[in-house]
Structure 1
Amino acid sequence: MKINLSILILGVILWSNSILAQKKNIPFNHPKIKYEGRIAFKDSAACINWSGSSISLNFKGSEISAILKDADTANYYNVILDDSVISKIQLDTVKRNYVLASGLSEGKHKIQLYKRTEWGKGQTFFYGFVTNENDKIVSPSKPKKKKLEFYGDSISCGYGNEVLNGQDSGTGHFENHYLTYGAITARHFDAQFHCIATSGIGITISWFPTIMSDTYDLTDPHDKNTKWDFDQYSPDVVVINLFQNDSWLVNMPKHEQFKNRFGSEKPKEDFIIKAYENFVKTIRAKYPKASIICALGNMDATKVGSNWPNYIVKAVENLNDKKIYTHFFEYKNTPGHPKVNEQSAMADSLIAFINQKIKW
């Protein structure tokens, strides 16, 4: 019996289309998708920038994927299934579907995309998840009661923390914010988590024109017009870990940013203390009830003989606020930025301090 070739081809096409039609799109603005971090919502996508931002969905099904596009190719995300990291993905500048998990057992699962890399690696556009047609979308877990927020520099970003040879690398491949002291601390306390951090940034001066007071209040750090609504998120505890970059740059009179910020003279101690004090005042004004931890370390700004912890102590004393604390991480005394084990030690230190000082 002969089969007409055109009929066979048509049958294959129809069969293929029926398979594709069995997929279900869960758009980025679906009410059961849960976001954490400062997210900029556009008409067609959620725009992800800050380190540690995440997107989660609870579902019942055997597989799930996500539709994503990146402004660069330097961004990486952890794929977290049922609270365990199962892979990392590097994004492309082409909008496409990324399979996150497949072959899953029956029952409820939680998928999470967690931004490993900092905003300087570019923006990510998240358009939604894709599941099988008959899979069920489940309501998100109850919101975590505790809330943490961090303001920091490369240490808080996790710059080069997965480099294994003891050196540094600014490529996204070696940056894993999930294993920074801030993220570890948040998971320990089962707390919601926001991280506003930029490698190279400072209070009085940065390695580039902007300082923390220019970016602390932005939803999208690429766009100065996207002011964050601080009423959306009121942390119980705020951690500020800044001054590492200042400690270098105030001694570099030939650097362009030194000239732009200070002219020809190194800033006096009073200026440095006042600048820190003013930034903490700004954060206090946004969060009148929060406990604020003014931290520093664990790079050479906290080595023996450094004046920078003393500047913070004096600033906090001047503020005379019983809910503002100081906490300094021990100088790690190793090359480069803190690696995973050193970030973990910082988390242990911070967790112990919070347990001792703060009731929440």
Structure 2
Amino acid sequence: MNAAFKSFLIRALAGAFLLLLDPVSSFAAPTPMLSASDSRFRYEGRFDRADPAQPVVIWAGDRISVDFEGGALAVHFGPATGQSFFNVTVDGVTAVASGADGRFAWPHPLAPGRHQLRIVKRSEADAGHVVFRGIEVAVGARAWAPAAPAYKLRLQFLGDSITAGANNEDAEVDQWEDRRTHNHALSYGFLTSQELGADHRAVAVSGMGIGEGFVPMRVAETWDKVYPRDRPERVDRSVWVPDVVAVNFGENDSAFPRTEGRPFAKDFAVRYVAFIRSVRAAWPKAQLVLLRGGMSGGANDPDLRAAWEAAVQELEADDPRISHFVFNHWTGHHPRVADHRVMAAELTGWLKRQPWMAPFRVGNH
């Protein structure tokens, strides 16, 4: 046996001995993957689930939850368009994840035992959407379906950037380049739903109006679609039926023509009435709440105010299940989180006082 071969043999035997001492670090087992199609995941919102293994997360406020055990967690995303940001919450601790990164590893230590995972899309649908592929957990870890939420009512919001929560975590200036600071989970609608113990849904597109706005889509053409633009699929509106629908539009119908030096559209009231009647036709038993305000245009434009009030008067005269609420609080730029909290408190307080809310036991919440 020559010296070179003897040296190689000694190194090989030493390496084998070390592997026997520490087999876990040397041969790391593949981390188990819980596929998005697994029945233990709870999906709440308006998803594209044509492929159960690759559901597309689209709308702000859509939620995915599951319980798991062990000291490891990573969330897997697939193909993405634009920007999609999420609040990933484990046992009450939240971190922000980008769907564009593909894989998000939970950044905090996890104690042994069972954990609760909740994923909430914080950025709006028109900014981007992304495929959810599932989660990784620790080797040998189990997963469970989460406990069924004890919702008291189903609450649907339809609106524009105010309802989406756009810019609410920005500093003094509204910015649109990085949607990480647009957090629907701290919007007035989401906060109201939490306070009322409601199953929350939101269809909200920044810049969208009843007759015109800063985006090409109009409300009547978009409110029941799976995607906000470009694709034709529409939801089955009988699958999830709201008890209360809150509608907040008009800001962009006021602001957009002003930027072009044009007057407020004369057909706003007609279009608004037609849209609300289409919502009523889809959900004949729901209570419809017509909202106005949150920003300076919706609060102070006399043309918008007169047209909206005329539309509301006509709708309420024909339908006892329609009522309205005007926010006292408003801002010059998009509402920040503090503003949304004030708006949520106003709306929640008003809702709790309405006689038609009695079946939902809001006074006990």
Structural RMSD (CA): 2.6
Q: Which residue pairs with 1:321 in the alignment?
A: 319
Residue 336 (structure 2) aligns with: 339
Structure 2 unaligned blocks of 5 or more: 1-8, 361-365
1:311 aligns with 2:319: no
Of 289, 294, 299, which residue of structure 2 is paired with 1:293?
A: 289
Partner of 2:328: 330
Deviation at 1:354, TM superposition (A): 0.8
1:124 to 2:122 alignment? no
Distance 1:11 1:121, change over 3 A: farther
**1:97 correspondence with 2:103:** yes
Distance 1:206 1:19, change over 3 A: same
Aligned partner of 2:277 among 265, 278, 281: 281
Cα distance change of structure 1 residues 113 and 204 upon mapping to structure 2, 3 Å threshold: same
Alignment identity in percent?
26
CA drift of 1:225 comes to 2.0
| 1:24-48, Cα deviation, whole Å (9 max, x unpaired) | 2111111110111100024341101
Alpha-carbon separation, structure 1, partners of 2:50 and 2:28:
31
Maintained 8 Å contact 1:215/1:224:
no
Aligned counterpart, 2:38: 30
Residues 102 and 168 (structure 1), Cα distance of their counterparts in 2 relative to 1, 3 Å cut:
closer
Identify the match of residue 192 of structure 1 among 185, 199, 212.
199
Q: TM-score, normalised by structure 2?
A: 0.86
Highest Rg: 1 or 2? Answer: 2
Residue 186 of structure 1 aligns with an amino acid whose one-letter code is: S
Normalising by structure 1, we get a TM-score of 0.87
Task: Tell me if 1:67 matches 2:73.
Answer: no
How many Å separate the matches in 1 of 2:42 and 2:152?
15
Distance (Å, rounded) in 2 between the aligned partners of 1:119 and 1:169: 17
Distance 1:275 1:81, change over 3 A: same
Structure 1 residue 48 corresponds to structure 2 residue 57: yes
Say which SS state the counterpart of residue 52 (structure 1) adopts: coil
Is the 1:80–1:111 Cα contact (8 Å) retained in structure 2? yes
Residue aligning to 2:213: 206
* TM-superposition CA deviations, 1:210-259 (whole Å, max 9, x none): 111121111122443211011111111111010000012344556xxx7x
Instruction: State whether residues 64 and 102 of structure 1, in contact with CA within 8 Å, keep that contact through their aligned partners in structure 2.
Output: no
Give the letter for the 2:96 counterpart.
K
Structure 1 counterpart of 2:237, one-letter code: F
Shift of 1:313: 2.9
Which residue of 1 is the match for residue 113 of structure 2?
107
Tell me which amino acid in the other structure corresponds to 2:125.
Answer: W
Residues 118 and 157 in structure 1, CA contact (< 8 A), matched pair in contact too: yes
Alpha-carbon separation, structure 1, partners of 2:166 and 2:16 = 56
Whether the aligned pair in 1 keeps the contact of 2:68 and 2:142 (CA below 8 Å) is: yes
- Whichever residue aligns with residue 353 of structure 2, its letter is Q
Equivalent of 1:175, from 170, 182, 200? 182
Q: Is the contact between residue 68 and residue 124 of structure 1 (CA under 8 Å) also seen in structure 2? A: yes
Cα distance in 1, alignment partners of residues 128 and 193 from structure 2? 24
For residue 120 of structure 1, what is the amino acid of its counterpart?
A: D
Question: Following the alignment from structure 2 to structure 1, what is the Cα–Cα distance between the partners of residues 282 and 106?
Answer: 37
Q: State yes or no: 1:247 paired with 2:254.
A: yes
Of 135, 159, 169, 2:166 maps to 159
Q: Measure the CA separation in 1 of the matches of 2:38 and 2:161.
A: 33
Q: Aligned-pair distance for 1:121?
A: 2.1
Using the TM superposition, give the Cα deviation of residue 304 of structure 1 relative to its aligned residue in structure 2, in angstroms. 4.5
Q: Distance in 2 between matches of 1:237 and 1:91?
A: 31
Q: Report which stretch shifted further, 348-357 or 12-21.
A: 12-21
Kindly indicate whether the alpha-carbon contact (under 8 Å) linking 1:302 and 1:329 is maintained by their aligned counterparts in 2: no
Letter of the aligned partner of 1:273 in structure 2?
Answer: A
Contact 1:202 1:211 in 2 (8 A): yes
